[in-house]
Every structure is written in structure tokens, then in C-alpha cells.
Amino acid sequence: MDFTLPDEHEMTREVVRDFCETEIEPIAQDIEDEHRFPEEIFEELADLDLMGVPVPEEYGGAGGDYLMYALVAEELGRVSGSVGLSYVAHTSLATMPIIKFGTEEQKERWAKPLAEGEYLGSWALTEPESGSDASDMDTMAEKDGDEYVLNGTKQFITNANVAGSVLVKAVTDPDAGYDGISTFIVDPDEDDGFEVTTVWDKMGLNASPTCEIQLDDVRVPEDRLLGEEGDGWDQTKKTLDGGRISIAALSTGLGQGAFEAAREYATEREQFDQPISKFDAVRDMIVSMDRKIERARLLTHKAAVKYDNGEDVTRISSLAKLDASEISREVAEDAVQVLGGYGYTTDFAPQRFYRDAKLMEIGEGTSEIQHLVLGRELGL
């Protein structure tokens, strides 16, 4: 593949990088310390037409491709993992499934305001008892006339308390296994019985809300069913193909931000009358960071291009997610080491990248699950 980015993609990256450096980077640590969702940042991203990058223009998006979207996610991650996480959850998990599986009416009513940035979206799959076995689902949706009645609990749901719509996975046929899972569009503001019961304090990413939600006799009209009954698990697998690329891109950005902080510090900090970058141990560590990040970026871009070409990306997206997520944590840890004692303080960014990077190895399929996926793809 050609690794020279098209001019439009390069221009988009430059616009996003400038915005990130002027608007997000100065407040990145503050919003973490305050555990504050930066609503104003997402309003500005909407003004820049970035909240629906891969969404067709007729549905309020920018009409870009997944590679362009991956570039935006990387640039956001380079300065704030929290902003990046809420952004990718909104785009790949909450918006794109409606574009891919929704009716024209659903796309107009639900996808368009998401793509235009009128509000954020959320996607509710995981439950308290399910963990990595996301198909082990207790949330039920029972048909009652021309409505469905939803009951259950969803756990670790990004953006749930700031979302204007939530895609909820629920069981419509308890006897059908994977084929008994369906997807519903829930309006948190209008649908009675929807409640955010917990907003979690976390190791990192605290400016991106992670919630528990309770569904207590939530009634939704039948036109809120996404696709057909029983389509939910197949939709989930296809959605996660794109979601893994999102996490790979975000991880690459986190690693890049940590690397840049370490390189800048090492070239300015002097010991024994010379910059510490001149010492073999420090220089070799920084070179290794750069090598790893470049590998993660190439895998991520390859997965995005294949996704745009309509190819099966289960294997390559899993590879990209696995490699980039582990690399981001390794690079961030080394960045803390390069800064020494300063790296352990909140006055410098590496500690934030380090804490944020850990979730990349857990969310949207743990590293262990990625090995399982890859083994299956290899026929093992």
C-alpha cells in the first residue's frame, strides 16, 4: 500500500493537530484532575465538522473514510486520552452502527444529529457479570404490542451520562443463543426508566465518563429496533472490527504523545554537563519508542485502508489493536522512566499517558481476547 497520505487527509490531520495543541493540550491535565467532561471541546469539534468524519454527507457527516477518522483519533489521543476515548466511542460504536444497519428514517432521526455533533452517542453492550463473554447477556427486551420493554443493567458504558442516544444490546429470544440478541436505540432524556446509576472513578481517562446504567421497564417503539430481531450479535462483531481500529489509532496517539514528551525532556535535561539524550541508555529507550509507534501506526493505517476497501478486517484490526495497545503502555511507561521523578508527577504528561494507555489493553476486547480472535482467524 501507499503510505503517503492523500492531501485531504494530511490537511485534516494538520487542522486537528492545531486544534489539539491550542484548545485541548492546555486543559488536558485539568479536566483529568477535575473529572470533568469537556463539553466545550466537543462543541468545537462539531464546529470543525469532525464529529462524523466517516459518516456520509447526506447524514450530516464529513464524508471521509476510516483512514481519515483514524488520523483524527490519533491526534486527539496525542494530547488527551479522555477526549479521544469519548470521541471514538461516539463515532465507531454509537454512530456507525446506525449508518450501517439502520433504516433511512433511523439514519435521519438518530445518526444525523450524532454526526453533526448535536449531542454525543453511547453504546451499551457490557454487563456486570459478562466481562469478556459479552454474549452472556441478562438484559431483556420483551415485545408488548408495538413496543419493546427493556430491563437490565449495563456496565462500563462510555458517554452514557452525556449521550443523546444509546444503542442497547438486549435479548429478544432467550432460547436462540447468539441469534437471540437485538439492538435498540434508547433516548436517555425521553425514555422513562433509563437511569445512570454510577459514574466510575478510574485509574485514568477520568474526563471521559464511564457509567453503569439501569433499564427499568424502558419502553421503546418498535421502530427503535436496529435491523431485525436477532441481528444484534452479528452487528456487534462488525462494529467491533471498526472499534478495534479506533482503539489502535487512539493507542498510537497516546504513544506518540508520551514519546514526544520524553524526547523533549531528554534533549533539554542536562546531567554531567550534557543532555541526557546523549547517554546510551536514554537514547536507546527513545529510539525504541519511535520504532514501536511507527509499527503501530502502519498496522493501524493498513487496517483502516482495508476497512475502507470493504475487506474482511477481523484479523488485521485485531492485530492492530493488540499491538498498538500494548505499545502505548510500554512507550508511556518508558516515558515516565526517562523523566525520572518528574515523570511521576502530574506536572508532566507521561504519567497521564501511562494511566490512560492501560485501558487500551482492556477495552473493546482484552489482549487475551485478541489472541483468541487471532488464533481463530489462523485456524488454531
Q: Where are the domains of the chain?
A: 7-120, 122-230, 233-377
Instruction: Give the residue from 80, 85, 84 showing the smallest Cα distance to 28.
Output: 80
Burial class (CB in 10 A: 0-12, 13-18, 19+), 365: buried
Residue labelled with grid coordinates 494530511: 10
122-230 belongs to which CATH class?
mainly beta
For residues 331 and 259, the answer to whether their CB atoms sit within 8 Å is yes
Least confident of 80-89, 111-120, 127-136, 228-237: 127-136
pLDDT at 1: 47
Residue 129 pLDDT grade (very low, low, confident, very high; cuts 50, 70, 90): confident
Reduced to 3 states (helix: H, G, I; strand: E, B; else coil), residue 323 is: helix
Q: What number is the average pLDDT over the span 330-341?
A: 97
Look at residue 3 in the predicted model and tell me its pLDDT: 67
Instruction: Please give the CATH topology (third level) of the domain spanning 7-120.
Output: Butyryl-Coa Dehydrogenase, subunit A; domain 1 (1.10.540)
Q: What φ, ψ does residue 171 adopt, rounded to 5°?
A: -85, 125
Q: Which run of H or E residues covers position 324?
A: helix 314-339
Average pLDDT, the chain: 96
Check whether 135 has a pLDDT greater than 90: no
Give the burial string for 50-69 (b: 16+ CB within 10 Å, else e).
bbbbbbeeebbbbebbbbbb
Average confidence (pLDDT) over 296-319:
97
Residue 316: the pLDDT is: 97
Any idea what the Cα angle at residue 318 is, between residues 20 and 83, rounded to 5°? 20
* CATH entry 1.20.140.10 includes domain 233-377: yes
CA 355 to each of CA 34, 231, 233, 359: distance values in angstroms, whole numbers, following the listed order: 16, 36, 31, 8
100-103 contact pairs (CB < 8 A, 24+): 100/235, 100/238, 100/239, 101/183, 101/226, 101/227, 101/231, 101/235, 102/226, 102/227, 103/223
- 3-state SS assignment for residue 46: helix
Of the candidates 247, 248, 253, 257, the one whose C-alpha atom is nearest the C-alpha of residue 350 is 257
Q: Which residues are catalytic?
A: 364
This prediction's pTM: 0.95
Segment 63-67 shows an average pLDDT of 97
User: Beta strand pairing status for 210-221 and 147-158?
Assistant: antiparallel
Least confident of 64-73, 263-272, 291-300: 263-272
Closest CA to 234 of 178, 279, 190: 178
